[in-house]
Amino acid sequence: MEMDWKTNMAELGGAFMVSWLVLGEMGDDGNMLMAGLLLAVAMAAMAGAHVLPMFTWISAMTGDLQDTDAWMGNVMRLIMQMVGAGAALALMGDGTVEAATEAPEMWAFDLWPMLTMLAGGAIIATVASRCDGWMTAFAVVALAAYLGAGFDGANGMAAEVMGGGAIPEMASHWIIDGVVIGLGAMLGGMLEEQL
């Protein structure tokens, strides 16, 4: 497999923009309308990039699961998203990044958050397949609280890696949440085919 540097750089740039602009805007008492607009801008500026880990997982889970080149490409996208988010976190923190104050419990399972992530994945994939990117951005911001690490996982992983925190715990959520959202997208697509 040959490296697709154009795609990798778009992922890096998109994650940088999302981490700095969107997640910063969504912080304590943030302006959700502005966050949606900024996410739409990031998605449009980096056309072709997934920008968020959630879209990478949706692509992986709804594509050919046997295609190892596609899996390797998606892994590179996830890594570049983490690097981009890390660069933004470093710049916002004057070169220092602290790990999350409380890392999520590793391999924790709670039924309701998993079900909301499944539903969120189905909704986001449906909106993304039927609407323009700017509409998808608003749906993502509206559902952000229900998407777990599928939404801000690159940011969380970058903070843990750069801050020397609980990397395995965050990685378990980054991966599991992403897979659950991807499964939701896959199930949503299967349901849509039956209708």
Model confidence over 142-185: pLDDT tens digits?
A: 888 888 888 888 888 888 888 877 888 888 888 888 999 999 99
Looking at the structure, give the CATH architecture of the domain made up of residues 5-194: Up-down Bundle (1.20)
Q: What pTM was computed for the model?
A: 0.82
Greatest Cα pair distance, the chain, in angstroms, is 52
pLDDT in tens, 90-142: 888 766 666 554 555 655 567 788 898 899 999 999 998 888 888 899 899 88
On whether the CB atoms of residues 117 and 12 are closer than 8 A, the answer is no
Of the candidates 129, 51, 45, 40, the one whose C-alpha atom is nearest the C-alpha of residue 85 is: 51
Residue 191 pLDDT > 60, yes or no? yes
96 phi and psi, to 5 degrees? -115, 140
What is the residue extent of each domain of the chain? 5-194
Task: Locate 55 and state its tokens.
Answer: 């879209």
CA dist 142 → 20, 118, 138, 152, 170 (Å): 19, 15, 6, 14, 23
